Amino acid sequence: MRNHPGEAIAPAAADSASFIVRPAQLSDVQPILDLINGYAAQEIMLPRNEVELCEGLRDFLVAVDGDQLLGCGALHLYTRHMAELRSLAVSSEHTRSGVGQALVRELLDQAKEFGVDVVFVFTYVPGFFEKTGFHIIDRASLPLKAWKDCLRCPKFTACDEIAMAFMVTPGAEIYMSHEPPELPYVEGPLIMPKLGQPRVLDKPKPRAPKRDK
């Protein structure tokens, strides 16, 4: 059973650290946006907006020291076998103190709990992920949906991120397709429904006729 928002999953990973890792809650949304979009401005990560972050907030873990957000990361399920580790970020004042690794460890534990066989990541920091047991893979071996987010990326036609995977289940490479994606996932235009006659099923009961006194 997963922890509830606000409840710690893990105490400090590093001996001297004082942070905890816990599921994200709505009060973390703004600090997470600030952290991710700060890195997005440097073209290190994809930007996020409030709506999509809230929509996927249950994917997120955060590392916090009291009220201060030190880092965040998410596990997004894609197929019955595969999940993506994404939106991993540690604030620049707190890097190299074990926060990133603590988040990755917890997200991989979640992956095991859910029965995920392969966790993949797109990254510019393969050295960091190698330390947690990921290895470089062919990007074409990732499922179609992994390309959904890429559509918003200015580097869509010249992606320079490195694809890596962590095998939760030994031999799970068999679950990775070796076919390149046929078509990117495209969301349709925003079409609002036209309003019709409201349909009300809970009609009020007819009143009993008034009796003359």
| Contacting positions for ligand COA (CB under 6 A) | 39, 44-45, 88-90, 95-101, 121, 123-125, 127-128, 131
- Residue number, 161 or 173, with CB nearest to ligand COA: 161
The span from the CA of 100 to the CA of 196, in Å, is 51
In angstroms, give the least distance from the CB of 125 to ligand COA.
4
CB of 42 to ligand COA, least distance (A): 8
Q: Output 45 or 168, the one with its CB closest to ligand COA.
A: 45
CA dist 1 to 9, 61, 114, 193, Å? 11, 15, 10, 39
Cβ neighbours around 29 below 10 Å, total: 16
Let me know: does 18 contact 64? Beta carbons within 8 Å. Answer: no
Nearest-CB residue for ligand COA = 100
Q: How far is CA 178 from CA 11, 137, 144, 151, in A?
A: 39, 11, 11, 21
CB of 99 to ligand COA, least distance (A): 4
Residue among 66 and 206 whose Cβ is closer to ligand COA: 66
In terms of CB distance, is 117 or 122 closer to ligand COA? Answer: 122
State in angstroms the smallest separation of the CB of 194 from ligand COA: 42
Min dist. Cβ of residue 202 to ligand COA (A): 49
Edge-to-edge strand ranges of the sheet holding 20-23? 20-23, 60-65, 68-77, 82-90, 118-123, 162-167, 135-136
DSSP 30-87: HHHHHHHHHHHHTTSS----HHHHHHTGGGEEEEEETTEEEEEEEEEE-SSSEEEEEE
Closest approach of ligand COA to the CB of residue 179, in Å: 24
Residue closer to ligand COA by CB (options 151, 203) is 151
- Choose between 96 and 207: whose C-beta lies nearer to ligand COA: 96
